Amino acid sequence: IQALTQLFLLLTGEAAVGKSSLVLRFVNNDFQENKEPTIGAAFLTQKCRLEDKVIKFEIWDTAGQERFHSLAPMYYRNAQAAVVVYDVTKAASLDKAKSWVKELQRQANPNIVIALAGNKIDLVQPAEESEEDPAENGREGGREGGRQVPTEEAKAYALEAGLLFFETSAKNGDGVRDIFVEIGTQ
Ligand code: GDP
Ligand code: MG
């Protein structure tokens, strides 16, 4: 007989940083190149086995759009954990993530476990079998802007704010399971 623990988790962050894609990767081990934007919020569940227990994640995947912001408290009021997502190729998305963290730390359950996830690292990792123009790869900033948020900068912020920190790719799966396992463990 194994203990089954229910864990309410909220995903938030700017629109298009890949929140729904992270959930899709975790729940279905799948990725969609042109994922349609979430309207309002989506609810998904996924069981995850840890060493001595099974955690059932009850996940609220919220829309990042400003017009849904007033609904946010409905979702974070009962959340035991939150994953605040930004896009490593968009510096402004980290600013947005920081404002979410502030809001959660002020308004949500004081025991909430918050993880910061820098998503889309596949876009800034050297491609293993790249067929791109090498001149383009070497250029300052790179294609589509390249990395705009250095790992060390985000990590330092996460440490200071008391957050778990991950860099992830919903596209290739890197780091995705780690977020949920670490949150479940905590
Ligand atoms: P959300 O608005 O935060 O839920 O973002 P979505 O999950 O809808 O993703 C927005 C867009 O980014 C979609 O076109 C996804 O295919 C793409 N995307 C999401 N995650 C990744 C990733 O890790 N790498 C890459 N390259 N694209 C991603
Ligand atoms: Mg979404």
Q: What tens-digit pLDDT sequence spans the chain (186 residues)?
A: 667 899 999 999 999 999 999 999 999 999 999 888 888 889 999 999 998 899 999 999 988 666 677 777 888 888 999 999 999 999 999 999 999 999 999 999 999 999 999 999 999 987 665 555 555 544 444 455 799 999 999 999 999 999 999 999 999 999 999 999 999 999
The ligand 1 atom at the shortest distance from the C-alpha of residue 37 is: 8
Task: Look at residue 34 in the predicted model and tell me its pLDDT.
Answer: 86
Residues around ion ligand 2, judged by CB within 5 A, are 19-20, 38
Question: Residue 181 burial by CB count (10 A; 0-12/13-18/19+): exposed, middle or buried?
Answer: middle
User: Distance from CA of residue 169 to its chain's centroid?
Assistant: 9
Ligand 1 pocket member 16 (CB < 6 A): yes
Task: Look at residue 40 in the predicted model and tell me its pLDDT.
Answer: 82
Q: Which residues contact 165 (CB under 8 A, 6 or more apart)?
A: 115, 116, 117, 118, 154, 155, 158, 159
Sheet of 81-87: strands edge to edge? 41-49, 54-62, 4-13, 81-87, 113-119, 164-167
Taken as a whole, the chain contains a residue count of 186
Distance CA 120, CA 17 (A): 8
Name the residue of 12, 19, 20, 21 to mutate for ligand 1: max ligand atoms within 8 A of Cβ.
21
Distance CA 114, CA 105 (A): 9
Task: Look at residue 51 in the predicted model and tell me its pLDDT.
Answer: 85
ipTM confidence: 0.99
pTM score, two decimals? 0.90
Distance CA 98, CA 12 (A): 11
Q: Whose CA is nearest to atom 11 of ligand 1?
A: 16
For the stretch 70-91, pLDDT in tens is 777 888 888 999 999 999 999 9
Task: Look at residue 139 in the predicted model and tell me its pLDDT.
Answer: 46
Ligand 1 pocket member 112 (CB < 6 A): no
Task: Look at residue 138 in the predicted model and tell me its pLDDT.
Answer: 46
